[in-house]
Every structure is written in C-alpha cells, then in structure tokens.
Structure 1
Amino acid sequence: MTTPASVMPRATYRLQFHAGFGFKDATAIAPYLGRLGVSHVYASPYLKARPGSTHGYDITDHQALNPELGTEEDFSAMVAALRQAGLGQILDFVPNHMGVGGSDNPLWLDVLEWGPESEHAGWFDIDWDPDRRYLLNKLLVPFLGDQYGVELKAGNLALKYDEDEGTLAVWAYDTHKLPICPLFYDRILAHENAGLDRLSDLFSDLPMWRPQVAERARALKAELAALLNDDAEARAALDAQIASFNGDWKALDALIQEQFWRVAYYGVAGDDINYRRFFNINDLAGLRMELPAVFRHAHARIIPWVEDGTLDGIRLDHVDGLLDPKRYFDDLRAASTRPFYLVIEKILAAHEQLREDWPVEGTTGYDFTNLVLGAMINPAAEESFTETYKSFTGLVTPFAEIVRECKIRIMENEMASELNVLGRDAGRVARQNPMTADFTRNILQRAIKQIVASFPVYRTYIDMDGAQEDADRRDLDWAMAQARRGDSNIDPSVFDFLHGALSGQVVAAPKSGFSRTAVLRFAMKLQQYSGPVMAKGLEDTTFYRYNRHVALNEVGGEPERFGISANAFHKANAQRAKNWPHAMLGTSTHDTKRGEDTRARLAVLSDLPEEWSRQVTIWSRLLRARRGDIGGNAPPDRNDEYLLYQLLVGSWPVELLEQTDEAALQVYAERLKGALEKSMREAKLHSTWTAPDTAYEDAMQAFARDALDTNRGGFLASFLPFAQRVARLGVQNSLIQTVMKLTLPGMPDIYQGCEMWDLSLVDPDNRRPVDYTVRQVALADLEPRLEHVEGRGSLLGELLQDWHDGRIKLAVTALLLDLRREQTSLFATGSYEPVSIEGGKSDQALGYMRGADDQRLVVLVARYPGLRETDPDWGDTVAMLPDGRWTDWLSGRVVEGGQAVKLGELFDVLPAVVLRSS
C-alpha cells in the first residue's frame, strides 16, 4: 500500500473540540497555525456526541455534526479558513463504539424499543441469549445510581409521553430514555375515551403486521400524536393514565418487566452486562463494524469528506476493539477512490512490531513518546532510584506481578460478565467433541482468566481464515506457558484445548469434530476481550500503583524499563524510517498521563538520584511532623505520598517558581486535587470510583493542602529551591524532546498549546483551555527576528535565559517546522543512520543523520542535563561529523565536517544542533 505524497501531512496540530472550543474558534486560529508551520489540523471527533462531551468519542449519530461545536455553516467556514491558511485536515474517528444511554442515539433507542426484532439489533454486540435467563431477549441498561427497586419507589423512573413523536417511554432521572415497545401501548391507552380506545385496539393488533410491525407502529404513533394534538379530552385522559402508572410503582414495574430492556443499578454491569462495551464504560457500546450495513452507516459522512478533499486523512481510535482490524482497514481503503493518510491508535509492547500487511501509515505515536522519554532517562540511576522507592514506600512486589494481579482483578470485577460469556462460549465449543465434552464452563473460565492475565501484548489477530502469524504464535505460546503455572490445579488438557482453539489448530484439519466458525469466532471474541483487560489492568490500574518513576507510567510505556541505550534508540528509529516513515510522532495527547514538559522535568530526577532521595525524606519529615505523624503510619500511605512529590516537581507552575501568587496557587491546588483523586481511585487500593473511601481521600487531599500552605511554609521553603533547579534543567530536556520529534523519521504532531510549556497532569487537566492570544502575539514578535540565520544564535540564547515565558520552545518549534517545509522530501522519505559520538561522555549525547537525494541533516542532542550541570566540561567527547560544510539551522553557526567536532563547542547555545549541509 502506497499513499501518495500529495496527501501526506508534513506536520499536524491537534485540536480538542468541545462546547467551549468549536468550529468558529478553530476558524479564528487558522492563520496562526498556518504561520506556525504545520500542514494539517488533526481534529478530535466532531460528529454528534453525547451532550457535554469533552472528547467526542461517544458518538451518537454518525450522520450529523455535533451541534455543540457549531452549525453546518460554521463547519464549512472552518474548512474554508483552513484551506486559505494552507492547512488540510486529519480527523480522529472511533469505529469501535457509540455513546449510549441518554436520549440521543436513535439506533440504541430503536434496539431498546424492539429488542431482537429491531432492524439494528445486530449492529451492537448484544448477547440476546445469555446464561442469565432473566435477560433472555432483553438488553441490560445499567445506568441507575442505586438499586432498581429503590429508584422505582423514589419516583426516579417515570412514564412520559412525547407529543412530537407520539411515543411513550420510561425516563430515568429525566435523562435516560427507555422506550415502551408499541406492542404494549394498549396497556396504557385502554380507556373509555373513544379515540384512545380505538388506537389501543389498533396497537394490540400489531403482531398481525409482521414483518412490517415497526413500519405499522410508526403510522399508529403518528395517528396518536394527531389525536392528542387535536383532542384535549383525549390528551387529558392519557395524562391521567400516565399519572396512575407513576403513582403506583408496582403497576409501573409490571409494565417495565414486559419491555425488551432491563434497567438496573450500574454496579450490576460487572456481572450481568450483555453487550460489549468500550472497556468497562457502560455508556459506550461496541459496534459490529464487520457488518457491511454498520460500516456504510458509520462512514456516511467520513468517506464523502475524504472524497471531496475536506479530509486528507483519518486517525482511528481503539482499533484493538474491532473484531477484525485488518479487514476493517481494507474496507476503509476500498471505500474511497481518493487516497488518504491513515494512522491507528495501537499500543505496542517493547518486543512487538506493527503488522506489515496492515494498509496504514503507522501508529499514532505512543511508542515514540516512550522512546524519546527513554532517551532522557539516565539508566545508571536505576539501582539508586529503585532502592529509594523501596525504602521509602516499603513496596517490593515486582512490576510484572502487579500487572498480572491487576488484570485478574479487572476480570473478577469490572469485566467479569464478559469473562463469563467467554467461558460459556468455550464450553459450547468443547461439547462439540467427545474428547473435550467434559470441560465445564467453570474450569474453562478459570483457564481463560489465567491466559488473558498472562498475555504479553494487548491482543493477537487470528481471523476467520484461521491463519496465525509467527508473532501471534509466539505471544500465545508465552501466555499459555505462564497460565499453566498460574493455576496448576487445572488439568493440562484444558489448556491444550484452549491453545488449539485460540491458535486455530483444532480446526486446521477437516473433520476435526469442531465447528470451524464457532472455534474461530470464540478466538476472535477472546482477542477483543484481552485488549481492554490489558488497558484497564495496566494503564488504568498498575500505572497508578507502581510509582517508582511516574514519568515512565505512560500509555504504551514499560515502567520497569529505566531508560534506553543509544543503540536501542537508533535501532527503533532506523526501523521506523524503513517500515513506517510517515507514522505519527507524538509527545503529548489527550490521553497521556502527564504533559510532555512535565515528563521532561521528571526525567531530570534520574540525573539527581541521591539528591532526590534526600529531598523526599526531608519533605516527608516536614509534612508528617506537622501532622504529628513522626512514624509515618497515618494516611496517606507512603506510595501515594511518593507520587505526590513527583507530581509537584513535575507540574509546579512556572509562574509560581520565583514568587507566591495565592490565586494562581489555588488554581494549581484544584488541578492537583483532581489528579490525586483520579490516581487514588484508579489504583483501586484505598478507594475506587464505585466505592470511594472518603476518609482516606480526605487524608490524602489534606496532606497535599498542607504542602501548599504558604502560612506554614516549611515544606515550600525546602521544596522550591529543588523545584527551581529541576525546572531549569527540565527546559533542556524539553528542547531536545522537541528537536527530536521534529527531525526523527515520522510525521510530528503538536498537541494543542504544546508549542509552549505543557505542564499538564492526567486528563482532564490536559484539556484545559489554551491561550492562543499569547501564542499569536509571541509568534508575531518572533517571526521577523527568526528570518535571518545569522542572528538566531544570540536570539535563542536570550530566549533560553528568559525561558519562563515559553517563547524558546515556540521559536525552536517554528524554526524546525519551517525547515520541514523547506526540505519536505528529506523528512518524508529520508534515510536514518547514527552519528558516532566518542569520548568520555559519549553516553550524554545522541546524534543521527537524515539524508535524501543531495540533502543531508545531522542532529545532535545533549542529554542528562543534571549531570552536565555538575560537570559541564565535555572534555574529549566529540561527534564524527560527515564531510561537507554544515550550518546549524538553530544558531547559524557554520561547522566544517569530515572531522571530529568537540561537543563543548556545538552545545554552547542550546542543548541541540540541527546541522544542514550547504
């Protein structure tokens, strides 16, 4: 698959659309983004989503724009403004699921109304024949805040009539619409009123209209609306009937029991849910995108936008949720006659490679995020850092054991129902063959739990053809070996059967005794399950429990790997240049746990491990002594305390480094409070989202408030000098991170606002409003001053001295985006090779060369700023610069190649040089 260069982005800028930032706002900043130097806006989803959505992934109507973002006219004006600024568009799109609940998803409402008979019943991944027989032909709707009976008696479920549609529905909290099936309208309409009595009789006759029941019901609803609009007596009679139901909860319950839905307390979902969700989120229901009708419906707006040039590309969210990702990618490519850029959100394990036969440009860049971070972490500090963490917290459990424990917890709680279904399906398959007929659902379910807990990757990719790639076979074999040890009480033959089923081997030969389709469908369903379990167990649980160095606890990251070698760094980049030269390169996203500059700061701690250890000990004594807890036994526990110190160091606002501003401090305190709450609840140790432990949470929040208390400033007096030093050193990491993103193989993305400092905490903190006025003014001031190469060195030196305002990062970003515009082919298809660095401090720098045709570019970056501050002399360390005359694009310095060049001379202005052959 080859995507033409004409639609390939040069660089993108991510915009998060929501009610506070719509099409008009994007229109207003289009000229600024064009001047900054990106080629495309990379937009969050803007199809119609749940009201108040801050991310857009909860789409409720694929046919319409989100009205909270603006009108169709506003959208057209935005598209025109982007084009005028020389910008194309990449759209984020989620094929896996839709937003459900509420009252605004017509497909979901139709399924609730008609159950298995709905024309959309097969569009969602619903099990209409579950083991929970009370849900036979019913859809569980777990949206209640308390038990069903409690909410029913309290009047929080109420029958209502919609005069515009002529429909009847039960509403939960006036928010969730639960349609009454027209087959039961006669229960409500029957009355002495002649008009209602006539319609009651007609509705009771609906079964005689099969298979056109729904069409006939629509006609009768229209008649009902007309009658009630014209006949006040009939309307009053219906209102009285409705009031009688709402006044008698037993009568309302009897009506509810007849429907195709079963409304329930949200906590029931973990055990009894019978539709596939996005992870464990009840109001995001999985779509069966493998069905042609679903595919056509979901892409009814997207594909025409590609065809007419509104979109040059698509970013696909959560592709591992799809039953058959490759088939979907093929279908998507085939749906458009115009080529387009296509990248996918795919989390890769360290040993895992993206499938080369997938017709995509690459991933959305989480692997790159962690690669660049790894290059900034000093591996030599691992032993010291680990010892500090263990001695401070008392925690010694290996990371891998925590992951396994958390995955099992997810399967036994939030996602137990899906595990039950897999056990049932495995049992049905096993009973097809006498040799496996005695494997019970319980024993199979236990084995499946061990297998999924042992998966070293998010999922494998066997499909209905039954072919298994070597990578899948390797990962499945590993999981099986670990699973057998995980529960040795399970008969080995059970694992043998499941291994054969998940690999397709039990049906590889004819007359196996098993249904080939049933076996492969079971394997593919388990693949859909293993991904969410990994995500919830690793990203959303383990990453909040294991706090050795939280910068490493990033989406797609491996916190147990403390930094990477230069060889590993070069190997990864060379592979991307060869196989995925247009993959997206990201350092901040709407999902990253920490902002890119927060991580860059925290990376500095690996340069100062002994000082860090001393500081946290001092801070803990200061804060706990104030609370009368000399022994350190009162809450919060030491692990959460250790997390707090890292969050403070990483995200401490620039404006609070040198002076105290009570208003700014209060804003920061609220941000920190939200991050701590999420961290505690996601860790699921002392508190959870479903059962918050307010006593523990209050203790943690009070501890954080004490740290920020300026009236008792012992902690702040100790903390601020260290925070100032780390922040200053972190600037150097931020700059080399920016340089690497904009020069390494791939297509760089700038997350909204990150052309200046991004000291965000976990979402939703990273979706705060961006001050584009500040950025536009700064860029307008810098543009004329950056035009001439000769004067850049002194300008960038001044900006680095005054780094607090973020203009140094903006200047470097604009300069390198301009270079990408000048040397498009070099960055789009250029080769990659390491530049040799030799000498006593060779480990403190990285170098690489990009080349295409007669264009060459050498990039050198200095890492470990804490070490260099302590010992700034580079000594005999040199870079072996290729032949030629080179000009640093950033400083304007001219360097002669073909010789060893001293790094001390190259890094006298910035911790990076970008040498262009001349």
Structure 2
Amino acid sequence: MIPPTTPRANYRFQFHKGFTFADAETLVPYLDDLGISHLYASPITTARSGSMHGYDVVDPTRINPELGGEDAFRSLVGALRGREMGVIIDIVPNHMGVAGGENVWWNDVLKHGEGSEFARYFDIDWHEKLVLPILGDPLAETLASGALKVRQNDGRYVLEAYGEHRLPIRDEDQATAATDDIAVLIDRQHYRLASWRVANDELNWRRFFTINDLAGLRAEDPIVFEATHALYFRLYAEGLIDGVRVDHVDGLTDPAGYCRQLRARLDAIDRPAGAPSGPAYIVIEKILADGEPLSTDWGVDGTSGYDFMEQVTALLHAPASADPLGKLWADISGRSADFAPEELRARQELLAWQFDAQHRRCVEAFAALARTAVECDGLTTGMLHRAIERLLWVFPVYRTYGTGAAAPAADIEIRDTVRERVAAFVPPGEGSVVDQILSWLAGEGSGDAALAAAAVRKFQQLSAPIAAKAVEDTAFYRYGRLLSRNDVGFDAARMSLDIDAFHAAMIERARDWPSAMLATATHDHKRGEDVRARLAVLSEIPDLWRSRVEHWFELAAPYAGGVDPADTYMLLQTLFGAWPEGLAASDTDGLSDYAARIVAWQEKALREAKLRSSWEAPDEAYETRCHDLARALLDPARSRAFLDNIVAFVVRIASAAAANSLAQVALRYAMPGVPDLYQGTEMADLSLVDPDNRRPVDYARLRDRSAAKTPAKMALIKRLLALRREHPDVFSEGAYESVGLTGVRADRAIAFRRVGKEASLRCVVPLRCAERHLEGIDGRDWWGDTALASGELLADLLGEHALSVEMLSLQQR
C-alpha cells in the first residue's frame, strides 16, 4: 500500500548531532505502534556546526553531515516506507546562518562585495560597504587590543577576530596581506567591521528579527529560489519526502507568490513508482491574529498549527477570571491589568531601538517614492517617519500582502482597523500622511512602480518582526496576568474562547483547511501543553489562587529582597505550572535539578522582558537576586513550608489539570486537520521555553510505558490514532458538526461529530470542571440533567470517565 502524501498524523523530531537520523530510525517501530503516519523533521540541511535546532542553515544544497548525511537519511526513509509511513521536512527559505565562516555564499560576498555572484542572494543595501557588527568593541579599540590578526587558512590569507571569526580578504590584497598595515588592509575590504552594538542603528542588510548571525535571503529572485530549493525538489522527485513545512513565511517579500511557486514546482515533479503521487503537502509557519483569515489561494494546506494551539488553550480557560486575575496582577505588579499598554510600550521601545536602522531605511524608501508622486509635494521625511512609526505601534497583524501595485481583498479590513487604531497617535494635521502610506500598501498610491514595490516590501518586512519581537518576545515576558495565555500565536488580551466561537472556527477549518496541522506543543512554545493545562485550572479558582499566592509571598519574603514583585509572581506561576510529576518536597536532588531549569528560564525571561536586565546589558546583580530566590524556594532546608504547600496545591488540582490535558488531546486528534505530536509529549509535557523544551527525550522509558501500563494521556493518543488509522475518511474528509447541549452544565462540555461516508465519530469533552474535581463531586450529581440534543444524559455517557469518544455507524447518529 502506498501511503498518502497528506499525513494522517505527524510526529515531530528535533534533529541535531546528539539525535541523528540513525537514532530516529530505531524509533520507527515505536512511531508506527503509536499510529503515526509521517515523521515531521526539523531542518535537515547543513546548519552551523553544533546547531541544536537547524534553522541557522549554512548550506541548503546538502543534508547535514552532523545528522548522518544523505545516506543515513535514505536509510531512515527506507525504514519509514517499509511501514507505509512518510516524511515531512522543515525548510528555511527566509534566512541563512552567516556566523563562524561556514557559509560559502556569504564568504564569497565578503570577498567580492557587490561583484559576487551571490550578492543577489542576500538582502543588502549596497550604497555603502556591508556592515559586519561582530566586534566586542569599536574597531579602533579592537585593533589596539590585538584581537584582529592576519592568518593563513587553506593557502589564503584571512582576517581573524578573537580567534573565532575568519573573514576572507580580497583577491587583490592576498599578495600583500601579511605586510600591510592591518587598519589599511581592513579599510580596503568590501565589508566594514563594527561593534555588535551598532547593529540596531547601522546594519545595512536584512537579518532575521534581531539576530546578527542570520541574514535574510531574497527568495523572490528566481535564481535564489532555485539554488536554495534544489535539494528539496530532488528529494521530492526521488520519493524521499512528501512535503514541507515553510519556516517564517511572513519574512519573505511575497509570501503568497512564494507559496504558489513552491506548489507549482513540487506538483510538476514526476514521482517514482511506490511513492505517493501528490499533491505535495505544504504547510506554513504563520501567526494569525484574532479574526485574521489565511487566504485560500496561496496553494498551501494550512498553517503549522499555532492558531489551533491558541484556540484550544483559550477554550480551556474560564472567561469570568479575566477581571479577578487582572486585578491580582495589577495589585502585585503595580502595572496595568490589561495587556494593551504592555504591547504598545514594547512596540514603541523596540521600534526606536532594535529596529531603528530597518525603520529608517523603510522611511527612506517611502521618501524616495513620495518624490515621484505629484500629490506628495510638501510631504517631508519627518512626516513619513512619524506616520510609519505610529502605524507600527498599532498594527493588528504580522503584515499585509500587497506588492506595491496591488493588494488582496483581505487586506482591506486590516487597513481599516489600523486606520482606526492609529488615529489617537497621529500628530494634528498629519492624518493625510497615514492615509497616503495606507494607499501605497493597498497598491493604489501614485509614483514610481519599482519604488512603490520596494517601499511596501520594507514596511511589510518590518511589521512582521516588530510584532514577533515586541509582542511574543518582550511583552509576553512583562505581562503576568496568567502565563498560560502568553504563548506563540496567542492573544494575551483575551482570557477565554467560548464554545460557540470554537465550533465556528472548527466548521471553518473543516471547510477551508481540512489538512492544516493541529499543534498543542512545538519547538517554539514558551510553556508545555500540560503546563498550560495546569495553569488554566487557576482561571476557574481565582479567589483560591489569590489566597495561595498571598501566602506564598509571605513565605518567600525572607529571600525576595530586591526582587520586583512582578518577577516573583511570574516565578511562582512558573514553579507551580511546571512542577515535575511526582517531585516531593523532600527530594533534594530532584529539587536541585528543577532549580537549574527554573534559573535558566528565569535568565531568559528577565532578559527578553528588557525591563531590569537584557541580553545586551545583563544586570547580573539583579539576576542573581532572582536566581537566589528561586533556589531558596526550592531548597528543603530553607523553604520546607513553601515546598509542602506548593506540592499539596499541585496534588489538589491534579485531577482538574489532567482533565484539561486529556481535553487537549481529544480535541487535537478529533478536529479537522493533521494532529502533530511534538517529541516526547505523549507523556506529560511540563517543559518551559527553549532550550528546555528541546531536552533529550527518554525514548526507552516511553517505549516501556507504551508496552506496559500506559498512562492515560498516551493511552488516549493511541486510541484516537487507531481510530484515525481505521476510519481515515472520517478524519480527512468528514464534516464537523456541533452537537447542542441542554441542562444545568450545558456550558461545561463541548460535543461534536465528525461525519464520514460510512461512520461518524461523536465526542463529548468536559471543560472547566475544576469545581467538581476539587470538591470530589460525583459525576451523576455534577452533570444532573445535562444532555445532548438527542436526549442522552451526559451522566450516562461519561460516568466517571474524563470524556466520551464513540465511533458510530451512520444509522446510530
């Protein structure tokens, strides 16, 4: 039997030198036993040596030798094909790794400047030398320190910095490189060496977000597209992969055009006998704002699942907790109970700081365009700067998708929203400048067409990283109302999603995106799916949580001197949410291991927040106070009362948290789409942000647990994957139908059907039932007269079970 190209269910592996293709091959039987149809691989192309994630690609033309190279990949695919399984790979078209001297294309650009055949590959402004912000100090100080030297490497002279960076020297300078004055030699190169601190202000090439080690690629150039995708097309042509997940699609100049081109190229390829014939499976990493649709004409199968992760997590939270938990946060932190002020401040700060150079170049592009438009006479660079700045303060989505000459209809609502939001910030008399920029984004403004395309591109490639860095990588680390609502793709301003809205979203998903991925844990998540499930319980018991937190603050007081209460509160949430299964208050070694994880999370959280520390200028004294607090709270010798209390509370809400965990599993595997299982999360996922969520997985333990007494979470995953294997049409093509509920607890469960040609799946999943679990209320007493629209009582369907999943014949409906 030839497996379908579109997966039935994925399993995500994070490959690196410590977990290779050979390691994955030994696990193929385990994946098959689970019911997985496709291995979903992190990037397999050659990344920077030692990369633990693969997104810093230095050579997209060959498979990473650290992972085993092409032979080992072929062996892995052979093992998968032998069990009628397939492969989806993660690809990185937006950027390449350029640090460490391993990128041949980048090195050629450094050597030959704009004359390099690869200069067109990178998004560089060649009006000046390429700025290389790799020095620890200004150039003059670095020269004086002797940290820059001329060395020979493979028969050529190179410039060596700190013994780490090796930079090529022009061919014209090779003969005299060893005898020239080093300052004069550097000045003759096609690049300008500078301190890393000038990157935000002076960088003249597009980077990935704020990472100087990742340079943006011009995938819109046909030559670049073919060069960077040739390996993927060959692997697909040889039947070694079945599709791709496109990383950070919004970083590209024209995401829609790119996706259509990728679809056309893959689907035009003839596949060998024995391989799925297509169409290729294509999903994109795309963050969708609340209410933002994904265009159905891009030629993709949907997103990689952050939108579903947001929907299902919001569904678990109780709406009534927004105000009491907001008040608790405001009382503790002294800051706003609402998320909006935190987002606005973060956008303002990052635009004025980390994205200053990119902002100025965007303004310059619009200024050049304005000079070619008759109606823009009198429009100054300052006016454009203020208008663009304020638009980016309030932009409601990652980006729009205009080309300068046209824009999709879906952009209209976005422009209307931003016009409404920005009005409060526009200086008097400058509203027309905002309107002019929005008209260019709509493809309706006048002026030179090429300049319009360039200006619109620069705006769109600035609005996306501002959203990512200001919201997810800054404001989410500052705002602590409830940390389970701060994750990739989430709307932290919203506490909950009601059941009817969830039904509507799933009906839309079944109609438009039946093959999109369904994720609840990823390599990018800030908190594991079971951390969020546990924290979601707090939304049902805000008063009890307040009393518990107030007590913990009292117990922490002797060790919390000099630590901002907001940081203490986020620490307490994290300690509770990620508390390892079975960790006892007396387990000194276990608590020490947990403290090490917490301190690593704490350092990242403090530096990403950029309030009291940062990556650029760490406040080591403040960080030490925070780390000392965390270690003290996890030390039985100093904080036994706290430890006993938090363990007791974890145990008290354990059944409610487990119910949330199983609800997530049921919804991920029963909804329209392709469920994605992130490595190791078939067991409890109590991980924190990377690198914690990329720790090695104990697969021997997982296989033992799978073969022996299977834990409830894993058992439910296996059961639902078995149903997907036995009734594929119900899940791949089946309609989604909401099922109405009546009675006293009608708002405490979600019921739905997936209807296929010959059978249907009916699910009833309890939601927000913490009161029952905490009070130990009997199921029949809890559900009372709550019933399906057909009249069946939930008390009869559920009994004491966590949920009800039944495969019915159509006659039983």
Shorter-chain TM range is: over 0.9
**Of residues 800, 803, 812 in structure 2, which corresponds to 1:912?**
803
Match of 1:874 in 2: 782
Q: What is residue 272 of structure 2 aligned with on the other side?
A: none
How far 1:499 sits from its partner (Å)? 2.3
1:407 and 2:315 are equivalent in the alignment: no
Q: Give the root-mean-square deviation of aligned CA atoms.
A: 1.6
Partner of 2:727: 823
Query: Secondary structure of 2:300's partner?
Result: coil
Aligned to 2:37: 39
Partner of 2:79: 81
- CA distance in 1 between counterparts of 2:409 and 2:73 reads 46
Q: How far apart are residue 150 of structure 1 and its match? A: 2.4
3-state SS of the aligned residue for 1:917?
Answer: strand
User: What letter corresponds to residue 690 of structure 2 in structure 1?
Assistant: D
Residue 490 of structure 1 and its aligned partner are, at CA, apart by 6.0
Residue identity opposite 1:550 in structure 2: L
Note the C-alpha offset of 1:753: 0.4
Q: Is there any run of 5+ residues in structure 1 with no aligned partner, and where?
A: 130-135, 189-241, 246-250, 508-513, 783-798, 800-806, 882-898
For residue 365 of structure 1, the aligned residue among 283, 305, 311 is: 305
Please say if residues 365 and 454 of structure 2, whose CA atoms lie closer than 8 Å, have aligned partners that are also in contact.
Answer: no
What's the counterpart of residue 168 of structure 1? 157
Q: Contact conserved, 1:447 with 1:490, CA < 8 A, in 2?
A: no
Residues 310-344 of structure 1 show CA distances to partners (whole Å, capped at 9, x for unaligned) of: 11110001000000011111111222224210000
Moved more, 300-309 or 170-179: 170-179
Check whether the contact 1:443–1:490 (CA below 8 A) recurs between aligned residues.
Answer: no
1:835–1:879: 8 Å Cα contact kept in structure 2? no
Partner of 1:901: 792
CA distance in 2, matches of 1:817, 1:693: 48
TM-aligned CA distance change 1:875 to 1:113, over 3 Å: closer
Helix, strand or coil at the partner of 1:6: coil
Q: Distance in 1 between matches of 2:151 and 2:436?
A: 52
* Correspondence 1:771 to 2:698: yes
Query: Conserved in 2, the CA contact under 8 Å of 1:18 and 1:55?
Result: yes
Amino acid across the alignment from 2:699: Y
AA aligned to 2:727 is Q
Output the amino acid matched with 2:87. Answer: Q
Alpha-carbon contact 1:583-1:746 (below 8 Å) kept: yes
Task: Look up the match of 1:706.
Answer: 632
Q: Is the 8 A contact 1:833 1:850 kept in 2?
A: yes
Q: What aligned pairs does 1:174-193 form with structure 2 within 5 A after superposition? A: 174-188=163-177
Please give the alpha-carbon distance, in whole angstroms, between the structure 1 residues aligned to 2:531 and 2:246.
27
Question: 2:69, 2:645 → 1: CA distance?
Answer: 53
> 1:417 offset after TM fit, Å?
0.3
- Taking the TM superposition and a 5 Å limit, the aligned residue runs for 1:378-777 are 378-396=318-336, 398-463=338-403, 466-489=405-428, 491-507=430-446, 514-624=447-557, 626-627=558-559, 634-656=561-583, 658=584, 660-712=586-638, 713-777=640-704
- The answer to whether 1:92 aligns with 2:25 is no
Amino acid at match of 1:745: P
Residue pair 1:102, 1:176 contacting (<8 A) in 2 also: yes
Deviations 1:78-137 (A, max 9, x none): 1112222332100001110100121110000000001111111111000011xxxxxx2x
C-alpha distance in 2 between matches for 1:623 and 1:404: 32
Q: How does 1:125-524 map to 2 (within 5 A)?
A: 125-129=123-127, 136=128, 138-163=129-154, 166-188=155-177, 242=178, 251-336=181-266, 337-338=268-269, 339-396=279-336, 398-463=338-403, 466-489=405-428, 491-507=430-446, 514-524=447-457
The 8 Å contact of residues 550 and 646 in structure 1, kept in 2 or not, is answered as: yes
1:743 CA drift (Å): 0.6
Larger Rg: 1
Q: Report the TM-score, using the length of structure 1 for normalisation.
A: 0.84
Q: Distance in 1 between matches of 2:724 and 2:673?
A: 11
SS at match of 1:342: strand
Q: CA deviation at 1:715?
A: 1.4
Letter in 1 for 2:518: L
Q: Report how far residue 38 of structure 1 moved.
A: 0.5
Paired AA for residue 879 in structure 1: A
C-alpha contact (below 8 Å) 2:45/2:63 kept by paired residues: yes
Q: Deviation at 1:390?
A: 1.7
CA distance in 1: counterparts of 2:125 and 2:428, whole angstroms: 31
For the structure 1 residues 517 and 5, does the alpha-carbon distance in structure 2 shift closer, same or farther, using more than 3 Å as the test? Answer: farther
* Cα distance in structure 2, aligned partners of 1:444 and 1:865: 53
CA contact (8 A) 1:143 1:265 kept: yes
Q: 1 CA distance for matches of 2:572 and 2:441?
A: 45
The residue matched to 1:850 in structure 2 has which SS? strand
Give the C-alpha shift of residue 173 in structure 1: 2.2
Does the aligned pair in 1 maintain the 2:263–2:300 contact within 8 Å? no
Larger CA deviation: 169-178 vs 815-824: 169-178
Q: Measure the CA separation in 1 of the matches of 2:435 and 2:231.
A: 47
**Aligned-partner Cα distance in 1 for 2:445–2:153:** 54
Identity of aligned residues (%): 41
State the match for 1:114 in structure 2: 112
Structure 2 residue matching 1:109: 3-state secondary structure: helix
Partner of 1:654, secondary structure, is: coil
Counterpart amino acid of residue 767 in structure 1: R
**Which segments of 5 or more consecutive residues in structure 2 lack a partner in the other structure?**
270-278
- Residue 400 of structure 1 and its aligned partner are, at CA, apart by 1.6
1:580-611 deviation line (CA, Å, top 9, x unaligned): 00110000000011001111111111121111
The secondary structure found in structure 2 opposite 1:577 is helix
Is residue 431–residue 438 contact of structure 1 (8 Å, CA) maintained in 2?
A: no
Q: Distance in 2 between matches of 1:42 and 1:644?
A: 33
Q: Give, in whole Å, the separation in 2 of the partners of 1:58 and 1:727.
A: 40
Contact 1:34 1:86 (C-alpha < 8 Å) held by counterparts: no
Equivalent-residue separation in structure 1 for 2:348 and 2:336 (angstroms): 20
Q: 1:455 offset after TM fit, Å? A: 0.7
What is the CA–CA distance in structure 1 between the aligned matches of 2:242 and 2:118, rounded to whole Å? Answer: 31
Question: Comparing 481-490 with 423-432, which one deviates more in the overlay?
Answer: 481-490
- Is this contact kept in 1: 2:750–2:765, CA < 8 A? yes
Where in structure 2 are the equivalents of 1:20-59 lying within 5 Å? 20-59=18-57
Contact 2:326 2:337 in 1 (8 A): no
1:489 Cα deviation after fit: 4.6
Change (3 A) 1:758 1:875: closer
Equivalent residue number for residue 212 of structure 1: none
CA shift for structure 1 position 481: 3.5
In structure 2, what residue type is equivalent to 1:470? A
Paired residues of 2:61 and 2:230 also in contact (CA < 8 A): yes
